[in-house]
């Protein structure tokens, strides 16, 4: 077919255009049946913009339009259309990792993870809620879906949290926040991570390597809220004698670590993600036979194949339909136009740009799945963030004015002159921020699917559960700001600065949670909470001097709350 097209000098004939039109219509309809109207409607808007709607827009947004023949050719035959990069990623990397996850779940890994969480954390303060964080982190990195993760682990952890004394809406909020974080945890971070690797030309291994520490910090931030709430309410941990022993649980399921090890081994060795995932799938079947209770027979293998195919259907059609949007955005140059608009509104401010991206992500997330939201935002907004991160470097090293450093055309022409570690670090940080923010619709009202799913299990008010999950997931917003302003947390720059950022950032998240909960080793008043808020800002600020000031305030507040204030409380007569 390609040879015939080349022989015609890339000029499609009527038959080609008919098949192209049918393909577009069928993909839009399959997407509608799978995910609803919003994604096809968005694709329809971009198609209309390219054909005729662009003519009615004023100024920079005006577009003269293309013929239907040209548009169909771009969507069906071009490498940035329906069957271009995104479709290739979907049918190779994404499918094999979805299949890997399906085999792991069918082999019994889900039950093992929950048992391990119970044995490790059940006896700690707020144990059942921390178990949800641990289990959801691991399950989410396998399942790739916050809603599926909420159902899978929440059906066990939410009732346990309620029995311990947590309110239903808090229990549901914990599960939703933890399940959302599962998409951020390597080694499987969802379809968006593979698209990120392809678009940025940064290896998937490097992406999951730099994403690990921020993901751990996110789960710690959720655990901090749980710990403080349990302390504040005086909730007791589960008796240790009632819990399974860690050694017994590991003895039953140690073989589940083998496939993860195999996957990471081949990735580190330099093999492609598809090869690594294939070897991982084979190792799951082999490793399952090391334990009598987890052995996978022919029926289990067929069930895993069916589960993987079912899970891939919705992801696949979303990615194909997103290919329409991406192809048209690239064709009409909308990415550059959007970058210029953001730069104008934000006035060159990186922080305001991040806020605008967060708002856009929330609005898109009300109707778009996480992966589609990431794709749309990445193609539109990532260049703006990257450009603002590079602004100071361009001004200092190339003598550009601030206005020139924010001109997309000038920046694109100079990318090759910028040191690779600087340009690559900015590119990766920008895409990771959008990837993180594209998850926020799972936990942010008014539309928060993971929270609403958890509220159904918890028997709580959906809006209250959504508000709790939004509060618990504050790390989702704060951590990306940390690595945008100082990419050291992504292992960009001196290693000593990376460790400093991890420590101050983690302590800052604890202080921030204490401010929200009103508990810092004891119940605190509003004046003390304001001091903690200032302390958190100092710890998050990307300067060593302010970080030191924040640490000093942390220690002083600890002395005051545990020694001085405690002594005053004891001296008050009964």
3-state DSSP assignment of residue 8 = coil
Class of residue 430 by CB neighbours under 10 A (exposed 0-12, middle 13-18, buried 19+): buried
Q: What was the pLDDT predicted at 7?
A: 62
Does the CA dihedral 354-200-5-19 come out positive or negative?
negative
CA 275, CA 339: separation in Å to the nearest integer?
37
pLDDT confidence band for 481 (50 / 70 / 90): very high
Highest mean pLDDT among 10-24, 58-72, 125-139, 494-508: 494-508
pLDDT confidence band for 546 (50 / 70 / 90): very high
What phi, psi does 406 have (nearest 5°)? -110, 10
Q: What was the pLDDT predicted at 146?
A: 78
- Within a 10 A sphere around the Cβ of 463, how many other Cβ atoms? 15
Report the DSSP beta bridge partners of residue 458.
none
Q: What was the pLDDT predicted at 530?
A: 95
Does the CA dihedral 500-506-512-517 come out positive or negative?
negative
Q: Are 475 and 137 in contact (CB under 8 A)?
A: no
CA 149, CA 185: separation in Å to the nearest integer?
13
Q: What was the pLDDT predicted at 157?
A: 84
Give whole-number Cα distances, 36 to 43, 87, 151, 473, 513, in Å: 13, 20, 21, 27, 37
State yes or no: pLDDT of 473 exceeds 70: yes
Class of residue 97 by CB neighbours under 10 A (exposed 0-12, middle 13-18, buried 19+): buried
Q: When comparing pLDDT for 445 and 286, which is higher?
A: 286
Q: What was the pLDDT predicted at 468?
A: 92
Tokens of 15: 């038959």
State yes or no: pLDDT of 572 exceeds 50: no
CA 466, CA 170: separation in Å to the nearest integer?
9
State yes or no: pLDDT of 400 exceeds 60: yes
CA 271, CA 283: separation in Å to the nearest integer?
16
Mean pLDDT of the chain: 86
Q: Report the chain's C-alpha Rg in angstroms.
A: 25
Give whole-number Cα distances, 510 to 85, 378, 513, 539, in Å: 41, 30, 5, 11
Class of residue 512 by CB neighbours under 10 A (exposed 0-12, middle 13-18, buried 19+): buried
Give the distance, in angstroms, between the CA of residue 470 and the centroid of all CA atoms in the same chain: 15
pLDDT confidence band for 191 (50 / 70 / 90): confident
Does the CA dihedral 224-227-229-231 come out positive or negative?
negative
Residue with the two structure tokens 């990376």: 498
* Per-residue pLDDT tens over the stretch 413-430: 888 888 888 888 899 999
Q: Are 240 and 528 in contact (CB under 8 A)?
A: no
CA 185, CA 138: separation in Å to the nearest integer?
8
pLDDT confidence band for 144 (50 / 70 / 90): low
Q: Which of 259-268, 296-305, 398-407, 536-545 bottoms out in mean pLDDT, i.e. has the lowest?
A: 398-407
**Upper half-sphere CA count for residue 540 (Cβ side, 13 Å):** 20
245-279 CB burial, b ≥16 within 10 A, e <16: eeeebeebbebbebbbebbbebbeeeeebbebbbb
Q: What was the pLDDT predicted at 287?
A: 93
The arithmetic mean of pLDDT across residues 46-58, rounded, is 90
Does the CA dihedral 138-139-142-145 come out positive or negative?
negative
Closest CA to 295 of 108, 91, 159, 457: 108
Q: To the nearest 10°, the Cα dihedral for 136, 141, 145, 148? A: -40
- Within a 10 A sphere around the Cβ of 307, how many other Cβ atoms? 17
Q: When comparing pLDDT for 230 and 571, which is higher?
A: 230
Q: When comparing pLDDT for 343 and 96, which is higher?
A: 96
Q: Are 318 and 372 in contact (CB under 8 A)?
A: yes
3-state DSSP assignment of residue 523 = strand
Q: Are 302 and 311 in contact (CB under 8 A)?
A: no
Helix axes 168-181, 127-143, angle to 10 degrees: 40
Q: Is 284 left (phi over 0), alpha (psi -120 to 50) or beta?
A: alpha
pLDDT confidence band for 10 (50 / 70 / 90): low
Highest mean pLDDT among 126-135, 186-195, 350-359: 350-359
Q: Are 107 and 257 in contact (CB under 8 A)?
A: no
CA 532, CA 553: separation in Å to the nearest integer?
8
pLDDT confidence band for 570 (50 / 70 / 90): very low
Give whole-number Cα distances, 445 to 166, 222, 430, 449, in Å: 21, 18, 25, 9
Residue with the two structure tokens 């052995």: 295
Closest CA to 188 of 139, 254, 134, 135: 139
pLDDT confidence band for 209 (50 / 70 / 90): very high
Q: Is 234 left (phi over 0), alpha (psi -120 to 50) or beta?
A: left
CA 43, CA 20: separation in Å to the nearest integer?
15
pLDDT confidence band for 4 (50 / 70 / 90): low
State yes or no: pLDDT of 304 exceeds 80: yes
State yes or no: pLDDT of 568 exceeds 60: no
pLDDT confidence band for 367 (50 / 70 / 90): low
Please tell me whether the peptide bond between 446 and the residue prior to it is cis, using omega within 30 degrees of 0.
yes
The arithmetic mean of pLDDT across residues 227-233, rounded, is 92
């Amino acid at each position: 077919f390609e040879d015939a097209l080349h022989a015609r000098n890339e000029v499609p004939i009527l038959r080609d255009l008919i098949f192209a039109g049918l393909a577009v219509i069928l993909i839009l309809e399959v997407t509608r049946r799978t995910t609803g109207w919003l994604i096809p409607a968005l694709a329809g808007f971009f198609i209309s913009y390219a054909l005729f709607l662009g003519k009615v827009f004023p100024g920079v947004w005006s577009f003269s339009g293309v013929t239907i023949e040209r548009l169909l050719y771009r969507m069906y035959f071009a490498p940035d259309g329906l069957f271009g990069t995104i479709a290739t990623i979907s049918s190779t990397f994404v499918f094999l990792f979805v299949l890997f996850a399906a085999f792991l779940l069918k082999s019994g890994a889900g039950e093992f993870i929950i048992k391990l969480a119970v044995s490790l954390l059940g006896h700690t303060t707020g144990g059942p809620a921390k178990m949800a964080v641990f289990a959801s982190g691991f399950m989410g990195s396998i399942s790739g879906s916050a809603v599926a993760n909420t159902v899978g682990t929440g059906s066990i952890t939410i009732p346990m949290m309620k029995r311990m004394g947590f309110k239903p809406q808090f229990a549901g909020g914990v599960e939703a926040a933890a399940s959302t974080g599962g998409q951020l945890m390597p080694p499987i971070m969802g379809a968006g991570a593979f698209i990120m690797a392809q678009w940025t030309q940064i290896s998937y291994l490097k992406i999951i390597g730099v994403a690990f520490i921020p993901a751990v910090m996110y789960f710690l931030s959720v655990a901090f809220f749980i710990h403080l709430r349990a302390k504040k309410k005086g909730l007791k941990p589960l008796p240790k004698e009632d819990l399974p022993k860690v050694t017994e649980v590991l003895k039953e399921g140690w073989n589940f670590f083998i496939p993860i090890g195999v996957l990471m081994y081949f990735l580190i060795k330099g093999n492609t993600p598809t090869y690594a995932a294939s070897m991982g799938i084979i190792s799951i079947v082999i490793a399952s036979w090391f334990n009598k209770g987890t052995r996978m027979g022919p029926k289990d293998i067929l069930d895993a194949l069916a589960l993987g195919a079912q899970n891939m259907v919705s992801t696949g059609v979303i990615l194909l339909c997103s290919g329409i949007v991406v192809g048209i955005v690239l064709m009409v140059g909308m990415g550059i136009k959007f970058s210029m608009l953001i730069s104008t509104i934000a006035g060159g401010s990186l922080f305001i740009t991040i806020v605008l991206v967060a708002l856009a992500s929330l609005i898109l997330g009300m109707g778009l799945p996480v992966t589609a939201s990431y794709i749309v935002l990445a193609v539109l907004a990532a260049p703006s963030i990257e450009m603002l991160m590079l602004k100071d470097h361009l001004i200092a090293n190339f003598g550009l004015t601030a206005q020139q450093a924010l001109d997309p055309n000038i920046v694109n022409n100079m990318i090759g002159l910028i040191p690779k570690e600087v340009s690559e670090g900015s590119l990766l940080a920008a895409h990771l921020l959008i990837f993180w923010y594209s998850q926020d619709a799972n936990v942010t009202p008014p539309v928060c699917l993971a929270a609403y799913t958890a509220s159904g299990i918890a028997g709580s008010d959906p809006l209250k559960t959504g508000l709790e999950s939004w509060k618990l997931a504050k790390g989702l917003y704060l951590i990306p700001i940390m690595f945008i302003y100082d990419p050291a947390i992504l292992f960009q720059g001196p290693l000593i600065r990376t460790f400093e950022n991890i420590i101050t950032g983690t302590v800052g998240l604890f202080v921030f949670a204490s401010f929200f909960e009103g508990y810092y080793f004891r119940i605190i008043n509003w004046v003390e909470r304001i001091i903690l808020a200032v302390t958190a800002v100092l710890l998050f600020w990307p300067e060593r001097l302010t970080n030191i000031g924040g640490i000093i305030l942390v220690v002083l507040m600890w002395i005051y709350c545990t020694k001085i204030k405690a002594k005053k409380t004891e001296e008050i007569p009964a």
